[in-house]
Amino acid sequence: MLDALFQAAVLTSVAAATIRISTPLLLASLGELVAERSGVYNMGLEGMMLMGAFTSYLAAYESGSLWLGVLAAGLTGALMALVFAVLVITLKIEQIVTGLAVNLLGAGLSTYWLRSAFAGDGKTPTIPFFADVPVPGLSNIPVLGPILFDQRMLTYIAFLMVPAVWLFLFRTRYGLIVRCAGDNPKALDVKGVRVAPVQYAAVVFGGLMAGLAGAFLSVGQAARFVPDMTNGRGWLAIIIVIAGLWRPYPILVAALVFSFLDALQLQIQGVGIAIPYQFMLMMPYVAAIVALMIRRSRASAPARLGVPYTRE
Partner 1 sequence: MTDFNLVEWRFERRLDPRPAARIVALAVAAAAAALVCSLLFIAAGASPRAAFAALLQGSFGSLRAAGETLVKATPLIFTGLAACVAFRARIWNIGAEGQVFAGAMFAYWLQHNLTGFPPFVQIPVVIAGGIVGGALYAGLAGVLKTRFSVDEVISTVMLNYIIVYVLSLLLLRGPWSEAGGFFEQTPKVDPDSALPLLFSGSRLHFGFLLAIVTAGLVQMLLTRTPLGYEIKAAGSNIRALEVQGTNTRRLILVVLLVSGALAGLAGITEVYGVHYRLKAGAITGYGYSGIIVAILGQLHPVGVVVASVLFGALLNGATLMQIKTSVPSALIYAIQAILLLFFLAGWAACNFRLRRVARA
Residues within the interface to partner 1 (CB under 8 A):
43, 83, 86-87, 91-93, 96-98, 100-102, 104-105, 107-109, 111-112, 114-116, 119, 227, 231-232, 235, 238-239, 242, 276, 278-279, 281-282, 285-286, 288-289, 292-293, 296, 310
Q: Which is nearer to partner 1, 109 or 257 (CB)?
A: 109
Give the C-alpha separation, 175 to 169, whole Å.
4
Q: Which is nearer to partner 1, 177 or 196 (CB)?
A: 196
Give the residue among 134, 130, 152 at the shortest CA–CA distance from 67: 130
Q: Which is nearer to partner 1, 171 or 310 (CB)?
A: 310
CB 211 within 8 A of CB 30: no
Q: Which is nearer to partner 1, 97 or 253 (CB)?
A: 97
Min separation Cβ 297 and partner 1, Å: 9
Min separation Cβ 98 and partner 1, Å: 6
Q: Which is nearer to partner 1, 108 or 163 (CB)?
A: 108
Query: Other CB atoms closer than 10 Å to residue 56's CB: what's the count?
Result: 33
Report the DSSP beta bridge partners of residue 151: 133
Min separation Cβ 169 and partner 1, Å: 23
CB 238 within 8 A of CB 45: yes
Q: Which is nearer to partner 1, 96 or 143 (CB)?
A: 96
Min separation Cβ 235 and partner 1, Å: 5
Q: What pairing do the DSSP bridges indicate for beta strands 133-134 and 150-151?
A: antiparallel
- Which DSSP category does 130 fall into? P
Give the C-alpha separation, 231 to 288, whole Å.
14
Enclosing H/E stretch for 208: helix 195-217
From residue 274, alpha-carbon distances to 2, 143, 271 in Å are 10, 28, 9
